[in-house]
């Protein structure tokens, strides 16, 4: 039994799209999309729909294998080994490393004089992060809430800009600071994901589209902190 229609319907729900939206995007009738739900995605359409939703063709077709393509990683992995203990800032002893606060001015990230975040040097060392490649900034939007609330203070490793599946990055996009989780789709399509999927759909940029986008990955977001906005009533 071809169950790809069920996965297609689930993908639409994840992206906040309706069957009519998909029909318009693919220049087909709404009845065609309903037929795909019932009978499965036609083999001739698998590649284009897999690329559209940044998923693997095989997963969409049969449900087997990883859902998303494996991202390319050229830098050495900086996350702790799976067997290591989690890093708890409250239990790390030793020197605190000042990390300069930055803000966007005239399209460029510049340090704010006298403002900094202090992080344990031991924690940075364990993550393989050089202090000279680390900055902090305020979360610029609410698209990652409630995981990362708006105005939370972020720490960013500028040395890690290759896309690692599902990791969160700071971006500079057409002169605007952004924070999104990233993945790579079929044929190198860059997918920008928000934690708040209800209000923010997945954005996809093919290599050809990226040529016309002023989009730069600033670095990997490895830490965030925030205060509650008010005391409980």
SS (HEC) of the chain: CCCHHHHHHHHHHHHCCCHHHHHHHHCCCHHHHHHHHHHCCCHHHHHHHHHHCCCCHHHHHHCCCCCCCCCCCCCCCCCCCCCCCCCCCCCCCCCEEEEEEEEEECCEEEEEEEEEEEEEHHHHHHHCCCHHHEEEEECCCCCCCCCCCCCCEEEEECCCCCCCCCCEEEEEECCEEEEEEEEECHHHCEEEECCCCCCCCCEEECHHHHCCCCEEEEEEEEEEECCCCCCCC
Average pLDDT, the chain: 85
Domains of the chain with bracketed CATH: 4-62 (1.10.260.40), 96-225 (2.10.109.10)
Q: Quick one: what percent of the chain has pLDDT higher than 70? A: 88
Question: Which of the two residues, 131 and 80, has the higher pLDDT score?
Answer: 131
Q: What does each C-alpha distance from 180 to 31, 168, 200, 221 come to in angstroms?
A: 34, 6, 11, 9
Write down the pLDDT at residue 1: 66
Write down the pLDDT at residue 172: 96
Q: What is the mean pLDDT of residues 92-120?
A: 88
Q: Quick one: what percent of the chain has pLDDT higher than 90? A: 50
Q: What is the mean pLDDT of residues 59-68?
A: 86
Q: What is the mean pLDDT of residues 68-97?
A: 52
Burial class (CB in 10 A: 0-12, 13-18, 19+), 50: buried
pLDDT tens-digit map of 40-61: 999 888 888 887 887 888 889 9
In angstroms and rounded to an integer, the radius of gyration of the C-alpha atoms of the chain is 20
Q: Is residue 202 pLDDT above 70, yes or no?
A: yes
């Amino acid at each position: 039994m071809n169950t790809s229609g069920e996965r297609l319907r689930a993908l639409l729900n994840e992206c906040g799209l309706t069957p009519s939206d998909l029909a318009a995007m693919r220049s087909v009738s709404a009845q065609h999309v309903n037929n795909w739900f019932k009978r499965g995605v036609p083999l001739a359409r698998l590649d284009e729909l897999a690329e559209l939703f940044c998923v693997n063709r095989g997963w969409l077709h049969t449900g087997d294998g990883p859902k998303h393509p494996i991202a390319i990683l050229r830098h050495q992995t900086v996350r702790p080994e799976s067997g290591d203990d989690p890093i708890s800032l409250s239990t790390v002893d030793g020197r605190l490393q000042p990390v300069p606060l930055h803000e966007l001015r005239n399209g460029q990230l510049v340090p704010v004089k006298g403002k900094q975040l202090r992080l344990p040097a031991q924690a940075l060392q364990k993550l393989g992060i050089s202090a000279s490649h680390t900055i902090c900034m305020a979360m610029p939007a609410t698209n990652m809430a409630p995981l990362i609330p708006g105005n939370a203070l972020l720490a960013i490793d500028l040395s890690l800009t290759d896309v690692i599946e599902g990791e969160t990055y700071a971006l500079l996009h057409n002169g605007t600071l952004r924070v999104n989780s990233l993945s790579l789709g079929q044929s190198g399509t860059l997918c920008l994901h928000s934690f708040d999927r209800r209000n923010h759909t997945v954005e996809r940029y093919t290599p050809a589209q990226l040529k016309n986008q002023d989009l730069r990955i600033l670095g990997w977001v490895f830490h965030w902190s925030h205060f509650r906005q008010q005391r409980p009533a």
